[in-house]
Amino acid sequence: MNAARVRQKVAFSILAVVTLFVVVPILMTVFYIIRNGVGAVNWEFITQPPRNGMREGGIFPAIVGTIVLVIGTMLFSLPLGVLSAIYLVEYARDNFFTRLIKLSVVNLSGIPSIVYGLFGFTMFVLLLRLGTSIIAGSLTLAIMSLPVIITATKEALETVPASFREISLSLGATKWQTVRHCVLPYAIPGILTGTVLSLSRAAGETAPILFTVAAFYLPRLPRSVFDQVMALPYHLYTISTQVPNIPTELSFATGFVLVALVFVLNLVSIIFRAHFRKKKLW
């Protein structure tokens, strides 16, 4: 073996060891959450409201709250994100306006989640007088989710071959007919994957909902979109830092349910991707 080969062996071994420093903590974290959380999760825990100052009972209102927020987020961010991406890919010319949109998307993706919280509070809670409510929280989370949905949709639209559009246009279809019937259907898998992924992030976010929707303790379910709700991430934050003498099993179990919910959403997005990739037509 010559010196170069020995050096390669050493270098690759170092890279492998460093990679272990990433892999082992990830496995430990997941294992730690499952081992400590799964034992405390039972039927009562996921179907009952908290009792006795959140020291007993379940987290049902928080689960419902998070699901409601995810749905609300999707209702606002999906149409807006998809339409903006359609504009960028199908309609926009390379001009100042287009560059400004692209710059805005880049900027939105980098804004800290707590700054979204501040914005949502002044814009939706105060200025539009929506109060701390599901609708204010959903709108805040929706704006935060926009860059992921726009980027995913853009990439999905760009992979549809240009010939699809050319043929449709040459047959006399209008621009929108072309987009609607010959481009969008083939971009759906990519759009769905990106959307579900952005929703799984929204489900786990705490900072944007702190001042826009999250309720500290609200054992009943929301009656309208102008109600506050409890949410899983905020509930985990409050019981692990704000309320003394909470049994740690409850925190672990809440964390476990939150992670499980996020994993299910991620799994859905992975299944979409795999399923549609198999059926790819070109």
Partner 1 sequence: MTRKISEHIIEFCIKLSGLLVIIFVFLIFLFLLKDSLSLFGVYPIGQFLFGRNWLPISEPPGFGIIPLLLGSVYVTIGAIVICVPVGIASAMFIADVAPRPLKYILKSLVEILASIPSVVLGFIGIIWLGPFLRNTLHLTTGMCGLTGSLLLAFMALPTIISISEDALVSVPKTYKEAAYGLGATRWQTLWRISLPAACSGIIAAVMLGIGRVIGETMVAMMVTGNAPVVPKSILLPLRTLTATIAGEMGETVGGSEHYFALFAVGLVLFIITFIINFVADSYLRRARK
Residues 127 to 186 in contact with partner 1, rule: CB under 8 A: 143, 146, 150, 174-177
119 forms part of the interface with partner 1 (CB under 8 A): yes
Rounded distance between C-alpha atoms, residue 154 and residue 191, angstroms: 8
Rounded distance between C-alpha atoms, residue 157 and residue 88, angstroms: 10
Of the candidate residues 59, 68, 148, 236, the single one contacting partner 1 (CB under 8 A)? 236
The identity of residue 72, as a single letter, is G
237 forms part of the interface with partner 1 (CB under 8 A): yes
For residue 57, the surrounding DSSP H or E stretch is strand 56-57
Q: What is the DSSP letter of 39?
A: G
- Cα angle at 79 between 231 and 228, to 5 degrees? 25
Of the candidate residues 145, 251, 253, 272, the single one contacting partner 1 (CB under 8 A)? 251
Q: What are the φ and ψ backbone dihedral angles of 115, each rounded to 5 degrees?
A: -70, -35
Give the shortest CB-47-to-partner 1 separation in angstroms. 22
Give the footprint of partner 1 on residues 66-105 (CB under 8 A): 79-80, 83-84, 86-88, 91-92, 97, 100-101, 103-105
Give the footprint of partner 1 on residues 200-219 (CB under 8 A): 200-201, 203-207, 210-211
CB nearer partner 1, residue 204 or residue 219: 204
Of the candidate residues 33, 188, 225, 268, the single one contacting partner 1 (CB under 8 A)? 33
- Residue given tokens 């420093």 in the structure block: 21
